[in-house]
Structure 1
Amino acid sequence: MSQPDSAVADAQAGGGAPESLAALAERHGLRRAIARPTLPAYLRQLWTRRHFILTYATSRNVSKYSESALGQLWQVLTPLLNAAVYWLMFGVILGQSKNIDNYPAFLITGVMVFTFTQRTVISGAKSVSSNLSLIRALHFPRASLPLAYAVQELQQLGWSMGVLIVLVLVTGEPITWLWLLIPVTLALQLVFNVGASLFMARVGAFVRDTNQLLPFITRTWLYASGVFYSISERTEKLPDVLRWALEFNPAAAYIEFMRDLLIYQRFPERWAWITCIFWAIFALIVGFWYFWRAEERYGRG
């Protein structure tokens, strides 16, 4: 007979009320194996597994294109091909290039910046549901998975940003001191992406249709983020509330911030700073808290 069962049996034999297993476990210092840790403890667990997160992201990045002939070049070719299609449709056929100076640089900047967020959110939504065997076999903070996917997308962004800078220079834009703020912009966007990825990771873990709906949602988000057009010019005749909503869109805010630095050679306005910082902090706090609240439920069922 096991120790808890024998203790209950002894209590019954002695005429006393049987002690519940929960009370007995608490008296002996036992706790649930998958109990959700406190938030500070959870953060410490993530920090101790930072090497696993980085290694997992890097290995996924290497293996993702290992079976293709061009290998890692697809990290650059994919956004470039998308940009070429968008340029043909919106720049040539719809004539957007006539209204915007240096439309190729304008477009490729929007595509690269938005793709970073889009891919991070989509991969984050699949991070838990695609790794159920790993979750059920090993004990580790589940937030490691969406964080690893975000790091993977950041590594791919490094290739894209190199190509973006070359294309901006080729189209005639000069190098200015404002380019020193590019890492700041990417850091704010990364923080936002991590928060959004954590939020969608929980949604994707329990709502199975998320992965089917998310491409349509992100495509709508793409059209509303000013990737192909200037929001300020296209919304002049729209109600102020709608124009404000489009400009307050986080993806649009990070895109415009990057365009200010790379193309317009101007220091971003205070409103742009406030918007980008707000979305980074808000998304990280809400996304992390939302994901952590369901820590003990991932991998069940």
Structure 2
Amino acid sequence: MRRRSRIQSALADVGTADFDAVDVARLKPVGQRPSLGRYVAALWGRRYFIWADARARAFSGNRDTILGRFWLVGRPILDGLMFYVIFGVILGTSNGVPNYIGFLLIGVFMFSFTGRALTGGSTVMVGGKTLIRAFSFPRAAIPLGLVIREAISMFPVVLTMMAMILLIPPHANVTWRWALFPLVFVLQVLFNAGLVLYAARLTNAIPDMRMLMSFFSGLWRYGSGVMFSLDRFITHPTVLEILQLNPAYCALELSRELLLYGTTPDLKLWLTLAAWAVFTPIFGFLYFWQAEEEYGRE
């Protein structure tokens, strides 16, 4: 009886209690896309986390293998050796190319940077779904973290490439133009950032596109003059000019001119790569932001 009376008393107190009204108009759906300004501000506020996470993961991609970090450098070296045998020796594309070994090494090492950005961007949102569902944060932090991670992991790769073109005959010579190479690298990083943002949203919307990214990366490699000089095989001037607008081609040619041949690159190469490096990340960021509400959904 006492228990029943206590329950009745509690119900009576609830019936007479005052409740504050909730302003429903101030409530917002979880995961709703914020304005562009607020989105950028939120992303900037998490810059230290993005940097720390990217730095921690930079060399962890091959941790389940015996040689571990060696494969960051070992894979491009093996690719370069394979391409040298096939294209340089068997097909004879090395004819007429000064220092073909250095030409090929720069092509393979530097293109691998952009190739990994493309294929990594195609799977980055799938790998981040657990994080997306657990926390509220700007989703662009995930692909941008990948870009930073790949850029950090490229430092030993670039140093190895430089050492190889200096040590393997015919040797390259260090000139003042080597000081301009970091600018090429920065422009390539910016272009890769836009590429990753485009690939991340596109493959999140159309998962089947992930199956095509490796194919497209291989096709892109052949159209960028990684293993051979384009002007030797492309005789039509209009087609050659279109292919030379390729940002990967511009990055490779600038790197070769500066590091291998010690010459000042054509201004057109600089302007073309700079245009790609400015507009690709801007439009890629806007393209990614517009689908902010879609990431993490089943």
Superposed pair shares fold, TM > 0.5: yes
Q: Distance in 1 between matches of 2:231 and 2:94?
A: 16
In the other structure, the counterpart of 2:9 is: none
Is 1:151 aligned to residue 148 of structure 2?
Answer: yes
C-alpha distance in 1 between matches for 2:60 and 2:178:
32
Residue 43 of structure 1 deviates from its aligned partner by 1.4
Query: Which of 72, 80, 84 is 2:81 aligned to?
Result: 84
Give the letter aligned to residue 74 of structure 2: L
- Deviation of 1:64 after TM superposition, in Å, equals 2.1
Asked if the contact 2:60/2:69 (under 8 Å) is kept, the reply is: no
2:33–2:292 CA contact under 8 A, matched in 1:
yes
Task: Report the counterpart of residue 199 of structure 2 in structure 1.
Answer: 200
Task: Please say if 1:259 is aligned against 2:256.
Answer: yes
Contact 1:129 1:204 in 2 (8 A): no
Confirm or deny that 1:215 pairs with 2:214. Answer: yes
5+ residue gaps, structure 1, are 8-20
Match of 2:280 in 1: 283
Task: Give the aligned partner of residue 58 of structure 1.
Answer: 55
Task: Give the superposed CA RMSD.
Answer: 1.7
Distance 2:51 2:62 in 1: 18
| Percent identity for Structure 1 against Structure 2 | 36
SS in 2 for 1:212: helix
Is the Cα–Cα contact under 8 Å of residues 94 and 228 in structure 2 kept in the other structure?
Answer: no
Provide Cα deviations, 1:118-144, integer angstroms capped at 9, x if missing partner: 101111111112221111111111111
How many angstroms does 1:234 deviate by?
2.4
Letter in 1 for 2:206: V
Q: Is the 8 A contact 1:198 1:291 kept in 2?
A: yes
Q: Which moved more, 1:42-51 or 1:171-180?
A: 42-51
Q: Tell which structure's C-alpha radius of gyration is larger.
A: 2
Show the 5 A alignment for 1:154-233.
154-170=151-167, 171=169, 172-233=171-232
1:141 to 104, 129, 138: 138
Deviation >4 Å, runs of 4+: none
Q: Give deviations 1:237-292, integer Å, cap 9, x for gaps.
A: 22x32111110011111111111101121111111111011111111111101000
Q: How many residues align?
A: 278
Using the size of structure 1 for normalisation, the TM-score is 0.88
Task: Give the Cα separation in 2 of the matches to 1:25 and 1:280.
Answer: 44
- 1:125·1:201 contact (CA, 8 Å) conserved in 2? yes
Read off the aligned partner of 1:243 and give its amino acid letter. L
1:177-213 per-residue CA deviation (whole Å, 9 max, x = no partner) reads 0000111000000000000100110011111111111
Rounded to whole Å, the distance in 1 between the matches of 2:84 and 2:52 is 36
Letter matched to residue 183 of structure 1: P
Unaligned runs of 5+ in 2: 1-13, 15-19
